[in-house]
Structure 1
Amino acid sequence: MVLLISRTSDSPAMDQLRLTTRSCHFRWTPKRPANTIWCDRTNWREARTAEIDVAEPLTGKEALAVDAPPTLIQAVPKRRAEFFAGRLCAMLAIEELCGIAHAIPVQPDRSPCWPEGLLGSITHTDHRALAVAASRAFYQLLGVDLEPVMPNDQAEALSQLIVTPVEKLFRPLAMSSATFVTLAFAAKEALYKAIYPITRRVIEFHDVKLFGLHNDAIDLELDPLARSHALPTNRFSVKYQLADGHCLCLLAVEQP
């Protein structure tokens, strides 16, 4: 497998103080298997649009290696590409934050294991990946989700699973139904990713209620039955950005 990555902006419009993000576009070709990818940090810093064949082994202090976990060795090329791109972004974000590109192991429940004192979140689509990291000294919760806007037929088919009739009333007239459903999906996913490391509970979309929608944020409330007492609140404001046919949502709750 050859995975080709091109760097994109490291600072989305919703980037917040003391958060570090890294993002990239990626694609793959099933030419040969790869259980490790390599990234040249110099190329990453300087080549904002150039494609990098990250399946080619590298040496030297600028080389950064990302290994596939045993559970991923037999995965299809698409799944491996998504994992590699997401982990690469996460390791580069951590390196920017604390100076060391820590590996991020996969826990038994398949969630990422972040280094001591840090928290983060990873998201990807078929061709984009993004990771955000922060110090626990400044943030309690962190979750990010990136989704392509659903086709109309898909949004219609999934709508009842994601939003209730009452939640649909918050859709602005200028926003298409497909965009609204995608936004609700991504925002609830970002919330789930942010709270899962604390609750260790799987929640359903209807365990989270949408109760407000603004130009750059969506208000969500966690059902009391799904809430953990370890959470600081059951109401959250999720930042969002709609651009290039995608919806990007970020929940970042600072320390008190």
Structure 2
Amino acid sequence: MFTSQLSHSSSAFVMHSETGFITQFPAMAYCQVAFDVTAYQDSLFSEYAIPFPPVLDKAVAKRRAEYLAARYAARQLLQNAGCDGHVDTSPSREPVWPAGWCGSLSHTRGHAIAVIAPRGAGLTPGIDIEMFDAKTMRETAEMFTSLDERRLLAACGLAYETALLILFSAKESLFKALYPEVHCFFGFEAARICSIDTAAHSLTLELTQPLTPARKKGCQFHGLYLIEENRVITLIA
């Protein structure tokens, strides 16, 4: 899924940064960072030339660190592409990308990732990163899957809890990919998994309800997943 081009250590806060492109979609670049919440300071926003948004005024340090790490990753990609802009935040907390660009952000427990693509590339990026927690997956499975979906996952050849996490993450990625277009919130039940290919690390999701005149019930989306150490990354493009 990832073709790495540059990997380096940066600072006490951003301990490691890796940039490259999505192997199956070369027009889409990614940056993944490992960060240390305990090394966070508000002054890092100025150091990284990232605006401090009003939505963080009352946020705890952990939330500020996560926001900064994801925006740091996005800024690296934009600068690499020759864009001096930054990712703003809408009143609904949706990322607002510089003119000519689209992308997606995600973070979890010391890891953050960003993907960007030119708007003219015909891609709708949605990225999500989740940590493994088998117990939580088993206890919450019915909240984000149907019985048919659980049967499909149980028979796919992956550990059941891993398969559940992949689907949970993929539905999160689908929401991030479609929200800028549909401008409405939709739940996990709005899409179902049709297939999962463990050899190709890919899956297919299908809408179970219409979201817009163009995004009708039955509309399908192909996604990729990566199992990486103690976490899962999914991408809808």
TM-score range, shorter chain: 0.7 to 0.9
Residue 84 of structure 1 corresponds to which residue in structure 2?
A: 68
Percent of aligned pairs with the same amino acid = 25
| Alignment partners' CA distance in 2, 1:195 and 1:131 | 16
**Residue 153 (str. 1) matches residue 161 (str. 2):** no
Cα shift readout 1:210-237 (whole Å, capped 9, x = no counterpart): 1101021111001233x21244982001
Counterpart amino acid of residue 148 in structure 2: V
Q: Distance in 2 between matches of 1:174 and 1:222?
A: 24
Q: Name which of 164, 168, 188 aligns with 2:171.
A: 188
TM alignment of 1:2-13, pairs within 5 A: 4-11=13-20
Q: Which has the higher contact order (CA 8 A, sep 6+)?
A: 1
Structure with bigger gyration radius: 1
- Using structure 1 for the length normalisation, give the TM-score: 0.80
Corresponding residue of 1:213: 196
Code of the aligned partner of 1:69: P
* 8 Å contact from structure 1 (residues 22, 93) kept in 2: yes
Shift of 1:67: 2.4
2:37 and 2:65 in contact (8 A); partners too: yes
- For structure 2, the residue ranges without an aligned partner over 5 or more in a row are 1-10
1:37 pairs, out of 12, 35, 45, with 45
**Residue ranges of structure 1 left out of the alignment (5+ in a row):** 39-56, 58-63
- Residue 177 of structure 1 and its aligned partner are, at CA, apart by 1.9
Contact 1:20 1:94 in 2 (8 A): no
CA deviations 1:20-62 (Å, max 9, x no partner) are 111110012278x515435xxxxxxxxxxxxxxxxxx4xxxxx
Q: Deviation string for 1:60-94 (max 9, x for gaps)?
A: xxxx4122201202211110000000001011111
Q: 1:119 to 1:236 in 2, by over 3 A?
A: same
Q: CA deviation at 1:12?
A: 6.7
TM-score, normalized by length of structure 2?
Answer: 0.86
Q: Aligned partners of 1:144 and 1:111: how far apart in 2?
A: 14
- The CA deviation at 1:242 is 0.9
Matched, 1:75 2:84: no
Counterpart among 201, 224, 227 of residue 239 in structure 1: 224
Amino acid at match of 2:78: I
TM-superposed CA distance for 1:13, in Å, is: 6.6
The aligned counterpart of 2:236 is 251
1:236 partner SS: strand
Q: Find the aligned partners of 2:220 and 2:208 in 1 and give their Cα distance.
A: 9
Using the alignment, how far apart are the partners of 2:66 and 2:232 within structure 1? 18
Alignment of 1:190-205 (within 5 A): 190-205=173-188
**Aligned pairs, number:** 223
Contact 2:13 2:39 in 1 (8 A): no
Cα pair 2:170 2:234 within 8 Å, conserved: yes
How far apart are residue 14 of structure 1 and its match? 4.7
RMSD: 2.1
Alignment check: 8 A CA contact 2:109 2:131 kept = no
Between the aligned partners of 2:171 and 2:141, the Cα distance in structure 1 is 13
CA distance in 1, matches of 2:180, 2:111: 24
SS at match of 1:181: helix
Q: 1:86-165 residue pairs with structure 2 within 5 A?
A: 86-97=70-81, 99-150=82-133, 152-165=134-147
Equivalent residue of 1:211, what SS?
strand
Find the residue that maps to 1:115 and give its secondary structure.
coil
Higher helix share: 2
